[in-house]
Chains A and B, each alone.
Chain A
Amino acid sequence: MAQAVLDVLSKTIPDALVELGSYLGDEIALVRRDRVHDVLAVLRDHDETKMDMLVDLTVVDYLGQSPRFEVVYHLRSTAFGHRVRVKAGVPEDDPVIASATDLWKAANWAEREAWDLYGVRFEGHPDLRRILMYAAFEGHPLRKDYPQNARQPLVRRPDAPATDALTTTLRMHSHDRRVE
């Protein structure tokens, strides 16, 4: 349906594209990390796309692959009803990507969440703080190598009931042993 959008991309900035595809009716553009801001700007401003709405911004952690992270943008055009998914790979040793807050204000909190939970930094973000976890939290909990049942409590009773045995059992029977 949104093949026209991909055509605009391949006509306008072909050098930024890595791969174009379609899956279950959703058009996907995998783009280079250093050009993602240009691609998003074209999608927003081009007369044939007019992607004026950032539906979602999130990150996927492909632990063990390279690049490890993938930042995913879901865009929609309220004028044409088109949807498109833009993805960009981000390596583990340098998890930085350009911020989209200057294009859509909706990106502000979404990028804060992505930073909070995955540790991908967004360059140019006006206020990149944690949004869900507390400031004293260490690490990024949705990364696949974050210990499964690690807790960082802010407050405990001195005589709080121990939860060690239960947690040990849970870890033992966990289906996800890959990251331990």
Chain B
Amino acid sequence: MNQPASYIPTKLQEAVNWAQKYSLFTYPFATACCAMEFMSTLGPRYDLARFGAEFPRFSPRQADLLIVIGTIVERQAPVLRRVYDQMADPKWVMAFGVCASTGGFYQNYTVTPGADQVIPVDVYVPGCPPRPEQVMDGLMALMNRIQDHRGNVQRELGPTATATPVLDRRRLPVLPDGTSMVLDKAQRMPKDGKVR
């Protein structure tokens, strides 16, 4: 971002973005019934592989796209945060279904009101569960975002094709064992029922 604009890096950035958007390795963080619909989306009838996002990697270190599939409860939120922190840059997040987007109809003591309370989310796919068509629509929206360099991480890192130094993303709140990211007691307890 700080670099002087020039023609060749811009074109190179576009090429990098084009390559990235067609080679998304996904990490399905599947917690609930939406995972059934995700399987259907991956299956031969809808075939997410046509968009290059065919390869679920069950290790966050090898994945570009974290798909949060299903309800995230408060007890599980630190795990989700840790999985996200383990992914290498650049990375994107899709919230799959209403529970991952907003908490859905679970407005209660235990469910996190959306995965975006814990990690930055790039694209939200509504539905309970969403139809495979909606998922593909969301994936294509995400691909447009990647091509335009508008992803959350892309915005933070700046142009990746130029020789900008890699930002130290460890300044983001990480979760070793409850240091920076864990809320202290005074922040945590809203006795009056107000949600932060």
Please pick, from A136, A146, A170, the residue contacting B109 in the complex, using a CB distance under 8 A. Answer: A146
A150 and B190 within 8 A (CB): yes
Closest A residue to B82 by CB, please name it: A155
Nearest Cβ on chain B to A127's Cβ, whole angstroms:
19
Are A153 and B193 within 8 A (Cβ)? Answer: no
Which one, A36-44, A106-114, A159-167, is touching chain B?
A159-167
* Contacts A133-B110, A136-B188; A157 near B194 (Cβ below 8 A): no
Contacts of A160 in B (CB 8 A): 116-118, 196
The residue in chain B whose Cβ has the minimal distance to the Cβ of A138 is B189
Query: Contact at A152–B109, with CB atoms within 8 Å?
Result: yes
Chain A residues lying within 8 Å of B107, measured Cβ to Cβ, are: 149, 167, 170
Chain B contacts to A: CB under 8 angstroms:
74-75, 77-78, 81, 107-110, 112-114, 116-120, 173, 175, 181-183, 185, 188-196
Task: Provide the residues of chain A in CB contact with B113, threshold 8 Å.
Answer: 151, 163, 166
A172 in the interface (beta carbon within 8 A): no
A106→B54 CA distance, assembly (Å): 44
Chain A contacts of B109 at CB under 8 A?
141, 146, 149-152
In the complex, how many angstroms separate the beta carbon of B74 from the nearest chain A beta carbon? 5
Q: Is the interface of B mostly helix, strand, loop or mixed?
A: loop
Q: Which residue of A lies closest to B117 (CB)?
A: A160
In the complex, are the beta carbons of B75 and A134 less than 8 A apart? Answer: yes
Q: Which of A160, A162, A180 has the most CB of B within 10 A?
A: A160
User: Which B residue's beta carbon lies closest to that of A160?
Assistant: B117
Determine whether the beta carbon of A149 is less than 8 Å from that of B196: no
Q: Which residues of A contact B (CB under 8 A)?
A: 132-134, 136, 138, 141, 146-158, 160-164, 166-167, 170-171, 180
Partner pick for B188 among A147, A153, A158, CB 8 A cutoff:
A153
Output the least CB separation between B146 and chain A (Å): 21
**Contact across chains for B193 and A155 when beta carbons are under 8 A apart:** no
A-B contact pairs, 23 of them (CB 8 A): A136-B188, A147-B190, A148-B193, A149-B109, A149-B195, A150-B191, A150-B193, A150-B195, A151-B109, A152-B74, A152-B189, A153-B183, A154-B74, A155-B183, A156-B183, A157-B173, A161-B114, A161-B117, A162-B196, A163-B196, A164-B194, A167-B107, A167-B195
The one of A133, A134, A141, A151 that contacts B196, using a Cβ cutoff of 8 Å: A151
